[in-house]
Amino acid sequence: MKYSDEELLIIYEKRLDLSKKPDPSTDTAVIEFLKKNDILSQLSKNMSSKEWISLKQSILNHKDFPKFQTDHFYEVTEHNQKIDKMLEDSQTQKELDLLIKQYAIPERIRQYSKPFYSKYKMNPKVRIKKKSFFINFFHKVVKILRNKFIRFFVNLLFVFIWFIFSVLIWAYIEEWLEYENIYLNSLWVSGLPPFYISTSFLLIFGIPSYFFSKYIWFRESLINYKRKRVRDSKKE
């Protein structure tokens, strides 16, 4: 079986056609016998254990019960085996994989209000998925960047590293254009006075550096601005 206990809980809840019956036992046979003969609905909900034992013994002594129990065991076993075969079917597994992805999200498990999900809360085998490593790492980085000195150092480090990459990228393209198109190559290496630094290099180096620096230093201002716009739009 490829599915874990928590995944099977989802399958049995959302796909009723794949729900297994409880493993057959004498108690389950007795209950089904009571249902069949319309006795169960007439019983008191506050029945004591002594009364249940007495009722169970009377059912066990019933002349029709031995055959009913045999049929019940066979029916349940056959039904559960059929479900197992269906769970092994490749097409069914594709459908169930999509179902599990949809409902096995931790937030939905915690927010679900039906009794089914109380099994999740009480079942020690269920493991709520933790946030991904990258999300946790990102939040830690954001907290660290609140320090201005660290922010300045990170900004400077990025600019330095990106400068090296920009030189390599620019040189590679310049070398390729030199053999492919001499006219485009002259445009690529041309620059503006007074320093005549290549305009293409300034674009490669300057644009990412600008947006990264803007994000590092003005991230919180941008977030606050967006929140303010959202609040203003709701008021309107």
Q: What is the pTM of this model?
A: 0.40
Helices 148-180 and 182-189 pack at an angle, to 10 degrees, of: 150
Query: Tens digit of pLDDT for each residue in 170-210?
Result: 888 888 877 777 677 777 777 767 666 788 888 898 999 98
pLDDT of residue 68: 92
Give the separation between CA 192 and CA 214, rounded to whole angstroms. 25
Query: Tens digit of pLDDT for each residue in 89-134?
Result: 888 888 888 877 777 654 344 444 444 444 444 444 444 444 456 6
The percent of the chain in helix, strand and coil, each rounded to the nearest 5, is: 75, 0, 20
- Contact between 198 and 190 (Cβ < 8 Å): yes
Give the separation between CA 131 and CA 140, rounded to whole angstroms. 13
In the predicted model, is pLDDT for residue 164 greater than 90?
A: yes
Q: Which residues of 143-166 are buried (b: 16+ CB within 10 A; e: fewer)?
A: eebeeeeebeebbeeeeeebeeeb
In the predicted model, is pLDDT for residue 234 greater than 90?
A: no
In the predicted model, is pLDDT for residue 139 greater than 90?
A: no
Residue 83: pLDDT band by 50, 70, 90 thresholds? Answer: confident
11 closest CA partner among 102, 125, 142: 102
- Contact between 30 and 68 (Cβ < 8 Å): no
In the predicted model, is pLDDT for residue 34 greater than 90?
A: no
In the predicted model, is pLDDT for residue 145 greater than 70?
A: no
In the predicted model, is pLDDT for residue 66 greater than 70?
A: yes
